Amino acid sequence: MKPKVYVESSVISYLTSRLSRDLIVQANQRITKDWWKNAHRRFDLFVSAVVMREIAAGDKSAAKARIAIAEHLELADLQAEAVVMAKAILEEGALPKKAGEDALHIAVASYARLDYLLTWNCTHIANAEIRKAIEIVARRFNVNCPIICTPQELMGIK
């Protein structure tokens, strides 16, 4: 059985967007494309309704490219309990109130019992300073928080 990965919106955006002029973003885009080449062989890939809503926003042409990637991935259920957990993440200050969608990504991946949550959002999701607070909330809801990481951290050994 392959490990299960929740692919958050930022990863899909980096995968499909024009190469950035920002050198760090550009490097992350290249890492994402390299990761994606073997991802289907190594992992079962999931998105959620939250991801689908986020990637459908904005420029219609760019949204179409993002959706074309995501529509081939499995859909993790947006359970009512995950919504309650996301609210608790915000209310307890693990994430700022403005990061509601980010809290939902974490809660959906937790309730779906996925192994990894893959993201380039290092402000509110892949952030070591908030990890402990998120795990405390997850334990209260009797779920395990997936390993939150970037594609670079989930490259595997060659």
In contact, 67 and 56? CB cutoff 8 Å: yes
CATH of the domain at 133: 3.40.50.1010
In the chain, the number of structural domains is 1
In contact, 149 and 126? CB cutoff 8 Å: yes
* Domain range for 77: 4-153
Query: Does residue 52 belong to any structural domain of this protein?
Result: yes
The pLDDT assigned to 156 comes to 73
In contact, 27 and 35? CB cutoff 8 Å: no
The pTM for the full model equals 0.94
Query: Does residue 120 belong to any structural domain of this protein?
Result: yes
Query: Percent helix, strand, coil in the chain (nearest 5)?
Result: 55, 10, 30
Query: Does residue 158 belong to any structural domain of this protein?
Result: no
Q: What is the pLDDT along the chain (158 residues), one digit of tens a residue?
A: 999 999 999 999 999 999 999 999 999 999 999 999 999 999 999 999 999 999 999 999 999 999 999 999 999 999 999 999 999 999 999 999 999 999 999 999 999 999 999 999 999 999 999 999 999 999 999 999 999 999 999 987 65
Give the pair of three-digit tokens for residue 87.
């609210």
